[in-house]
Amino acid sequence: MPPIKISATEKTEKGTFKKSMAKLIRYCKHEWLWFALSILLGAVAVVFQIIGPNKIQDITTKISVAIKFGLPMDIDGITQIALFLVGIYAASVLLSYMQNFITATVTQRVSKNLRLDISKKTNRLPLNYFDTHLHGDVLSRVTNDVDTIGQSLNESVGTLFSSILLFVGVLIMMFVTEWIMALTVIATTILGFGFSVVFMAKSQKYFNQNQKHLAEVNAHIEETYSGHNVVQLFNAKQQTGKEFDSINKKLFNSGWKSQFISGVMQPLMGFVGNFGYVAVCIVGAVLASKRGIEYIGVISAFMIYVRLFSNPLAQIAQCLTRLQSASAASKRVFEYLEAEELPDESDKTLVLGNVKGDVDFQNVVFGYNPNKIIIKDFSASIKAGQKVAIVGPTGAGKTTLVNLLMRFYEVNSGDIKIDGVSVKDIKRENVHALFGMVLQDTWLFEGTIKENLKYNNPAVTDQQVVDACKKVGIDHFIQTLSHGYDTVIDDACNLSAGQKQLLTIARTMIADNPMMILDEATSSVDTRTEVLLQQAMDKVMEGRTSFIIAHRLSTIKNADLILVLKDGDIVEKGNHQELLEKGGFYADLYNSQFEE
Amino acid sequence: MFKLLRNLKWIDYLFFCVMVGFIVLQVWVDLKLPDYMKAITNELFNETGTINMGVILANGGYMLACAVGSLGCAVVVHFFTANISSRLSFNLRGKIYNKIQNFSLTEINKFSTASLITRTTNDITQVQMFLSMGLACIIKAPIMAVWAILKILNTSWQWSTATAVAVGTMFLIIFFVVVLALPKFKKIQTLTDNLNRVTRENLTGIRVVRASNAEDFQNEKFEASNNAITKNNLFASRVMGIMGPGINLIMQGMSLAIYWIGAYIVKTSEGVSDMMVFMSYSVQVVMAFMLLIMIFILMPRALVSARRINQVLSTTDSIVSGSFMAESFDGKASVEFKGVSFKYPDADEYVLKDISFVANEGETVAFIGSTGSGKSTLINLIPRLYDATEGEVLIDGVNVKEYNLEALNRKIGYVPQRGVLFSGTVRGNVNFGDNNADEDTIKSAISVAQASNFVSRMTDGLDSAISQGGTNVSGGQKQRLSIARAVARKPEIFIFDDSFSALDYKTDRKLRTALQKHTASVTKFIVAQRIGTIKDADKIIVLDNGNMVGMGTHDQLLKTCGVYQEIALSQLSKEEL
């Protein structure tokens, strides 16, 4: 197998941030109308939010003027303004909710499509991709990464645009109302933010440290818990305990610091607000003493502007951090979606239906990595109905041959022909349909036994299922289960490895492919179960060209042809008896299980 | 949760008291602020029409001082919460780690390793997060709410009513959202698991899926669970979308109500500034309640984590060390099983039934039988990974339960079924635990384990790095290093739990020959699948469903034991026997 690539810890630099975001935006292209509508709704809501303080200011001015000059309260005027405000507030709630509703709908739809595309992509990727990437890696792209994208978009798209609009809107309104006060607010806010930015930059290292230490602690825990027996029996508890204490201590030190810093951010923002507030009051008072009583209204409006102005800035900063994680996640998702696919084969029209089962390997050369050839010039001619066993030490290329036969991988040079037709000339699906496979890993999915056996073959009747199970000798066992053939196979279901393997053999029998591949089908069961499996498999192989790969040599003694593979070459071929008499590599391998 | 808080030290309580003091101070300062604001507005709105800048500046100064004070208090409070919650998680993590280190297999299996890992890492982080966010809030919010209410209580019942209505509406909105969305959030977890399962299924079975041309079949399954999760998510996030605008509306509505009412009840300029001060207090009241509600929403998750941690901490160890120190260490030991039966706690069926045999010094005893016959369980009783339910296991005539565990472990060289390595170096892995082997011992152990070849080919030889879980060496190499680790210990008893299956026949044979040569006096227990591995053992014990159905040498058993014949026949042909 080719080596697994473990992706290096990703860091989002500025370039990749832009690139990944651009990809994400392009992906959401056909949702642009909804995004535009959502932004528009947000914009209108912002306008209302800005009008609010102005109108409130009118009420306070009316009240204070009335009291100051002993005039009767202008109740009608105030009621009118208040009713107007009620309308505005109601409209603004409605609009923001509509905006949220649309954003939620669109982001969920985008997430759903991303997941679906990933799943579909899985079917179009060459097998090489999955042999070289960890399953967990693909899994976390489907769930974690897509979730991150969905959540970040949901929380930031609407807010980001509204915040920017609000920021600009308040800025304009402030200058329209009174420029000196506007400058006061801007100056205090910039001062406060400048301070926080410096503070955050200084503290970033604690966050990084904390992440690192957390990962170290987790790695240590995972390792010692998984090797618990060994740690205990080698009296290594003190040793591992000491290691743990030292990283736990490190985590504590960086942990409380980073927590402290992130906790202080909010009060700091609050202080910036209060600071601006005081500044507004003082500057306002100075101006009011010069300009008279009407100026009071301006002050009360600015008291609100100060809050409105510092909020969006904090929100924009928050959105950017969110989008940063969205970009990291979308980088991983698009990496997967853009991985090179299997070549398109829709132009191949040749179809191999009922084959006899002659298989020819002609000068096959192959390596997972072009620099490291695993199969060197492999040729063999197999006649229809023959049982062919492939043996050899680990790493000799046995499973690789199967990969090539099934076209899971493509040969570097040479050819494989079935009934004289090159497998390259027919579609992959066609090749797959020619072979039934039983593998070492007994793969069953969560579903009833019947569903598992009929797998992807709705035309199969229940009777056929029962017949197949009778043939492999598992019918009786299935009948004893509480729901018989409708028993659901899941984690809680206690099927032994042998029973599972019998089910996969029955599945293969039902699929009724013209040829068979058995790749280490009995390696994971004990030798007594193996006998049962062997009998079942013999039934499946009857009259079919079959390829058997086995670790235990006892299982292949009755093969028509044994190919002994070593370092990618056939070193010997013949049947069991011939090879033993020859006294070569096979005999050596075979006898080593008994010699002492 | 409260049980966990017992893990706090006196210093934490001291910190806690100081923290409460600072929180009260902060609330006082926060609520003092509007008073100066009132003074400023009073001055601005006074009837004389002139503004005394001195008053404004003085009060502005006080206000700023309050703001600085509030910030200062907040910083101090956060310092303490960060410290207390981090220290709690530090202590808990250490405690649970040590606890689990002393667990026997019984306890480990009760929880499963994966679950124990989550409990030590994620669950503790959850509790810490909750405390760091909630600890200050849970103290501050009620103080704030009560104090702020007291401050405005006597101002005007109309305004108070407006505030109460606002708080009530907020309760309603949040209640509504929680009732609607919470069940969906709970369901999302199951649906995510489902989606994961289908995806994993497709990945692990990719060869079968491709070979069966079942890509579309799998895709349909994926789409079904994708649609289910999307539908659920969509509903939840649409409901959650009400929160933001709703709370905004409450705040705005309340200010408007206060001004509107003000138009009717304010009669003096004093009243105008009263109104403004009331505004800022009422905002504090609403905020305080919102904080409280948020804590109650966040709490359940932390509580679940706390319960999971407590479950581990309150588990009693089933295996307790004895006091026998076994000073005589002569490199030899005999082992006897006397009527040993075993069943897992809470299980009805026995895994082992009435097993008796003696392994004399230097003998090799092998166990064979089909999967589930109890072979591994049996040898796990010797190092007390489990304790026998009935009967006793004796080493040199002394029950293993009476041994001091460390002394017992020093006698044993154990090789698990799968090679287990730890991050570090080859040397560190071979010279593991309380073993203080010298260079020669390490080298000879590696050579006995047939690992010299590949170790010398590694870049730094003995000091080559092993990555976490030993992922940078192959399965067979891992297994050989695990064997070297046991050999380097120079034990009196070897236990090989099916340790040879990962090796090819040739290496298997070479390794056993070397073992026999270098460690002849050591008593060996071997669990195996292959007849070839155990053919020449002094005693072969055949297990079937927990019963001992045969004991003797290869030749004896071939004649007398039906189960053994069956196993042998399945592996070897008639002539070879």
pLDDT, one tens digit per residue, over B225-235 is 999 999 998 99
Average predicted confidence (pLDDT) for chain A: 82
> Is this prediction's ipTM beyond 0.85?
no
Q: Which class for B169: exposed (0-12), middle (13-18), buried (19 or more C-beta within 10 A)?
A: middle
Say what the pLDDT of residue B230 is: 93
Residues 363-402 of A with CB under 8 A from B: 393-394
8-state DSSP, B122: I
Residues within 8 A of B (CB atoms), A 489-508 only: 496-498, 504
Percent of chain A with pLDDT over 70: 93
- Decide if A535 touches B, using CB distance below 8 A: no
Residue pointed to by tokens 């009833």: A448
Query: How far apart are the CA of B355 and the nearest CA of chain A, in angstroms?
Result: 22
Q: Which of A267, A288, A433 sits opposite B75 (nearest CB)?
A: A267
Q: Which of B66, B82, B97 sits opposite A244 (nearest CB)?
A: B97
Rounded to an integer, what is the distance from CA A159 to the centroid of its chain? 26
Mean pLDDT lowest among B10-19, B335-344, B479-488: B10-19
pLDDT score for A12: 42
Q: 10 Å Cβ neighbour count for A535?
A: 12
- pLDDT for the residue numbered A325: 78
**DSSP character at residue B492:** S
Q: How far does B319 lie from chain A, in Å, by closest CA?
A: 12
Quick one: which of B511, B404, B101 has its CA closest to A240? B101
Chain-centroid distance, C-alpha B571: 43
Chain B nearest C-alpha distance from A506 (Å): 14
Q: List every span in chain B annotated with CATH 3.40.50.300.
A: 335-422+491-576
pLDDT of residue A32 exceeding 60, the answer is: yes
**Range 193-222 of A in CB contact (< 8 A) with B:** 214, 217-219, 221-222
Asked if the B335-422+491-576 domain carries CATH number 3.40.50.300, the reply is yes
Determine the pLDDT at residue A2: 47
SS3 string, A307-330, reads HHHHHHHHHHHHHHHHHHHHHHHH
- pLDDT tens by residue, B393-402: 999 989 999 9
Query: Which residues partner with A549 through β-bridges?
Result: A390, A519
Give pLDDT, residue A551. Answer: 65
The more confidently predicted of residues B415 and A300 is B415
Residue range A155-179: mean pLDDT, rounded = 84
d(CA A161, CA A169): 12
B134 contacts: CB under 8 Å, gap ≥ 6 = B295, B298, B299, B302
- B390 to chain A, minimum CA–CA distance in Å? 23
Under an 8 A CB cutoff, do A267 and B70 touch?
A: yes
Q: How far is A443 from chain B (nearest CA, A)?
A: 6
CA of B527 vs chain A CAs: smallest distance (Å): 13
Average pLDDT on B93-120 reads 87
Q: What would the pLDDT profile of A202-212 be if each residue is shown by its tens digit?
A: 777 887 788 78
Which of A187-191, B41-45, B367-371 comes out lowest in average pLDDT?
B41-45
Residue B148 pLDDT greater than 80, yes or no: yes
Of all residues in chain B, the percent with pLDDT exceeding 90 is 21
Residue A594 has pLDDT above 60, yes or no: no
pLDDT of residue A248: 94
Whether pLDDT at B337 is above 90: yes
Q: What is the pLDDT of residue A4?
A: 45
Nearest to B47 among A68, A100, A432 (CB): A68
Distance CA B426, CA A569 (A): 34
| Angle at B527 (CA atoms; ends B523, B529), nearest 5 degrees | 145
- The confidence score (pLDDT) of residue A416 equals 92
Confidence of residue B545 (pLDDT cuts 50, 70, 90): confident
Alpha-carbon distance B349 to nearest alpha carbon in chain A (angstroms):
16
Q: What number is the average pLDDT over the span A149-162?
A: 82
Taking CB atoms and an 8 Å cut-off, how many pairs form between chains A and B?
398
pLDDT of residue A496: 74
| Per-position DSSP letters for A541-567, written without gaps between them | HTTSEEEEE-SSGGGGTT-SEEEEEET
What's residue A596's pLDDT?
Answer: 39
Q: How confident is the model at residue A10 (pLDDT cuts 50, 70, 90)?
A: very low
CATH superfamily of B2-313: ABC transporter type 1, transmembrane domain (1.20.1560.10)
Average pLDDT, chain B: 85
Domains and CATH numbers, chain A: 14-337 (1.20.1560.10), 362-591 (3.40.50.300)
In one-letter notation, the amino acid at residue A97 is Y
Whether B529 sits inside 8 A of A527 (CB atoms) is: yes
CA torsion B275-B276-B277-B283 (nearest 10°) is 100
Partners of B78 on chain A (C-beta within 8 Å) are: 260, 263-264, 267
Q: Is pLDDT of A201 > 70?
A: yes
The pLDDT assigned to A488 comes to 85
CA distance B317 to B107: 7
Please say if the pLDDT value at position A135 is more than 90.
no
Tell whether the torsion through CA atoms of A42, A47, A53 and A56 is positive or negative. Answer: negative
pLDDT winner (highest mean) among A129-133, A293-297, B44-48, B101-105 = B101-105
The DSSP result for A508-523, as a single string, is HHHHT-SEEEEESTTT
Distance CA A481, CA A467 (A): 17
As a whole number of angstroms, the distance between CA A214 and CA A252 comes to 9
Question: How confident is the model over B33-51, as a mean pLDDT?
Answer: 72
Chain A residues touching B43 at Cβ < 8 A: 285
As a whole number, mean pLDDT of residues B371-392 equals: 87
Spatial contact of A63 and B262, defined as CB atoms under 8 Å apart: yes
Cβ atoms of B566 and A526 closer than 8 Å: no
In this prediction, residue A174 has a pLDDT band, given cuts at 50, 70 and 90, of confident
From A60, A285, A596, residue closest to B259, measured CB to CB: A60
Q: Is the model's pLDDT at B280 over the cut of 70?
A: yes
Q: Quick check: B71 and A267 CB within 8 A?
A: yes
Q: For residue B263, what pLDDT is reported?
A: 82
Q: Which of B43, B241, B267 sits opposite A104 (nearest CB)?
A: B241
Residue B49 has what pLDDT? 62
**Chain B contacts of A119, Cβ < 8 Å?**
199, 202, 218-219, 222-223, 226
- Comparing A189-193, B199-203, B220-224, B382-386, which segment has the lowest mean pLDDT? A189-193
Q: Which of residues 99-128 of A touch B (CB under 8 A)?
A: 100-101, 103-105, 107-109, 111-112, 115-116, 119-120, 122-123, 127
CA trace torsion A177, A179, A182, A183 (10° rounding) = 180
Q: pLDDT tier at A9 (50, 70, 90 boundaries)?
A: very low
Specify the range with the lowest mean pLDDT, choosing from B20-34, B359-373, B461-475: B461-475
Over residues A408-435, mean pLDDT: 90
- Token look-up 């099916």 returns B498
Question: Over 80: is that where the pLDDT of A582 sits?
Answer: yes
- Note the pTM of the prediction, 2 decimals: 0.74
Tell if the CB–CB gap between B56 and A285 is shorter than 8 Å: yes
